[in-house]
Structure 1
């Protein structure tokens, strides 16, 4: 299994509620359209900051942690190739500009180590 994660922050001037609403009603649908047939799981984990040791709550470094799970590297690579098609790339990029602070977008393939507790 291959898992890709992207911690992302909302664009300047967008409230948390606006961000979540847009993501779940618009951007999610675009993701589902192009991930179907490749990914086995597509998850958005929206952050809700907790107070630090002094009780202060900070604005989060990112507002969502997006996860996409693929069955194997070959499927991930096929999906990545499909997402580079000009018309698909344009649709995704145009929508991302409405939602995210693009200067902070990062993508990672993660290696998980799970504890049995």
Structure 2
């Protein structure tokens, strides 16, 4: 199993409700049309930030789980292939310069 955690930052001027609306109703359908859906594809939105005067490092934690590294690499290749539209669409709601993602090793105490 390969797990990826992506830390994403909304573009300046976008509120959290608009961010969620766009990601869930525009971006997710684009992603799911391009390649098989990962075993897990979760978006976790940090709430209560719109009235904050401080700028946090990220607004969304996206969690992706793949059966193996090959499946992950094939998925990434499809997402960011020329003319896939993913990178261009991300410009509509994300500050891509602040995106960070990591392959992680998960240790679970309880589920």
TM, length-normalised to structure 2 = 0.84
3-state DSSP of counterpart to 1:61: coil
Could you list the runs of 5+ residues in structure 2 that have no partner in the other structure?
none
Equivalenced residues, count: 109
Change (3 A) 1:108 1:35: farther
Deviation at 1:49, TM superposition (A): 5.1
Could you list the runs of 5+ residues in structure 1 that have no partner in the other structure?
51-55
Cα RMSD after superposing both structures: 2.3
Q: Please name the residue that 2:26 is paired with.
A: 26
Which has the greater radius of gyration?
Answer: 1
TM, length-normalised to structure 1 = 0.80
Higher helix proportion (structure 1 or 2): 1
Distance 1:40 1:72 in 2: 10
